[in-house]
Amino acid sequence: MPTPSSQPLHVLLVADPGLPSRRAASIQASLERCLREAYGAATTLQTCTDTVYLTPESELDLDAAEDLRADYPDVSVILILTEIPRHTQGAPLIAEAYSDRSLAVVSCPTLGAWATKRRIIKVMMGSVNKLVPWGPETTTPRFSLRWSNWSHNEDSGHQSLHAHTLTGGPRLILGMTISNEPWRTAPKLSGALAAASATGAFGIFYSSIWQMSTYLSTLRLLSIGALAIVVMVAWLIISHRLWDQPINERLATVVMYYNLSTVLTLLVTVFALFATLVVLILLGGLVVIDPEFMTQQIQQDASLTNYLDIAWLSAAMGVVAGGIGANFDTDTDVRRLTHGQRMRQRIYTDNSTDDTVENS
């Protein structure tokens, strides 16, 4: 169906580097097909990767986004997919459509940790519809989200898509955690892993560790491992000042999301390191420790469970004794770790690095 103006619709999708750009690339063909079904065969979609910056007032710099029209003069609508977690009016903000600018902004983290292609396309199509409404004969229910609703701010020139308060917060935190890419963070702690491995390896050679792990209950061993992970996470947060403090009460909710996603990201990262250490020590123990010799030391028949208990206790000891004091490999790794760190780099000012960013 052609657009109301019967003119070809040219859409530009601008995505932040990283996860947003990868998601934009994954939906490009499907989104263009949906746009053509709604607005006609002449509809086109272009994509590019560019960082969305913030003003010194910590607001989205929409004027900078508008500058892209100089490079894409035929563009009718600009869609921005950003990794900035947005929150207004007491609820996470999924998308915002500015009819006076023919521009819409979609927050990638607010879509959740496992934002499927279908979910992203629904939000994108809904955003375009707020800028260029399609005809009444167009089928639209498949582009609606059950867990969100559009507001109608006609006087302010824009409309907002908010997530439901009950599920929006957890969805946003998980989305921010995935955006932090903890699986990419783990290799940046190679120094901590090396120090923890060196300390944990002593558990293979000391029979007292064998005996202790044998007499500890499964629940206590699990508790020791959990405590070691928590201590390591706390050390990383404190030593690198990753805990944000709100500069005023208005920022309290936003900063809470920052901090919770930071903690969850580090928990996933350190747990991955801990699990790696357990596997390494287990393999080392199976090679070095003779079962008959272990049987003599622990005064019971040695089994694979005993080797696993030794590896678990040794890994916990290694994380606490060897990991504490270890740092990220470079300062750049720290600056890219959390949303709070990355948002500070988006602001057009040199004296704002110590301020907490509000995502308006």
At 243 the three-state DSSP class reads coil
Distance between CA 251 and CA 262 in Å, rounded?
Answer: 16
Which residue, among 106, 120, 54, has the nearest Cα to 77 in the 3D structure? 106
- Give the pLDDT of residue 326: 63
Burial readout 86-109 (b: 16 or more C-beta within 10 A, e: otherwise): bbbeebbbbbbbbbebbbbbbbbb
Same domain, 242 and 103: no
Report the run of H or E that residue 25 belongs to, with start and end: helix 19-39
Is residue 53 within 8 Å of 61, Cβ to Cβ?
yes
Domain of residue 91, CATH code: 3.40.390.10
Same domain, 32 and 162: yes
- Give the pLDDT of residue 224: 95
Rg (CA), the chain: 26
Is residue 38 within 8 Å of 132, Cβ to Cβ?
no
Same domain, 120 and 210: no
Same domain, 163 and 299: no
Same domain, 163 and 16: yes
Query: Torsion angle, CA of 16/22/24/26, rounded to 10 degrees?
Result: 180
Same domain, 147 and 253: no
Beta strands 91-98 and 103-107 are antiparallel
Q: What are phi and psi of 351, to 5 degrees?
A: -105, 20
Beta strands 10-15 and 77-82 are parallel
- Give the pLDDT of residue 235: 87
Expressed as residue numbers, the domain containing 333 is 181-337
Same domain, 166 and 194: no
- Give the pLDDT of residue 352: 39
Whether 62 is covered by a domain: the verdict is: yes
Which residue, among 161, 124, 176, has the nearest Cα to 357 in the 3D structure? 176
* Number of separate domains in the chain: 2
Q: Going by C-beta distance under 8 Å and a sequence separation of 6 or more, which residues neighbour residue 345?
A: 335
Same domain, 328 and 188: yes
Same domain, 28 and 102: yes
Cα–Cα distances in angstroms (integers) from residue 163 to residues 67, 77, 123, 194, 262, in the given order: 30, 23, 11, 43, 21
Whether 15 is covered by a domain: the verdict is: yes
Whether 343 is covered by a domain: the verdict is: no
Whether 346 is covered by a domain: the verdict is: no
- Give the pLDDT of residue 1: 38
Whether 144 is covered by a domain: the verdict is: yes
Distance between CA 234 and CA 232 in Å, rounded?
Answer: 5
Cα–Cα distances in angstroms (integers) from residue 27 to residues 23, 81, 115, in the given order: 6, 12, 11
- For 117, the token pair is 């292609």
pTM exceeding the 0.75 threshold for the entire prediction: yes
Same domain, 118 and 201: no
Burial (CB count within 10 angstroms: exposed 0-12, middle 13-18, buried 19+), residue 354: exposed
- Give the pLDDT of residue 32: 92
Distance between CA 272 and CA 31 in Å, rounded?
Answer: 35
Distance between CA 279 and CA 276 in Å, rounded?
Answer: 5
Whether 355 is covered by a domain: the verdict is: no
Q: What beta strand segments (E) does 130-206 contain?
A: 148-150, 158-163
- C-alpha 217: how far from chain center: 36
- Give the pLDDT of residue 351: 39
Same domain, 167 and 185: no
Encode the chain (360 residues) as per-residue pLDDT tens digits: 344 445 788 999 999 888 889 999 999 999 999 899 888 888 899 999 988 887 766 677 777 777 878 788 888 899 999 888 887 766 788 888 888 888 999 988 888 877 778 888 988 998 898 888 865 555 444 566 555 567 765 555 678 887 766 777 888 888 888 888 887 777 777 777 788 888 888 888 888 889 999 889 999 999 999 999 999 888 888 888 888 876 666 667 777 888 899 899 989 988 988 999 999 999 999 999 999 999 988 888 888 999 999 999 999 988 887 666 666 656 666 666 776 677 777 775 443 334 443 333
Whether 287 is covered by a domain: the verdict is: yes
Whether 160 is covered by a domain: the verdict is: yes
Same domain, 22 and 163: yes
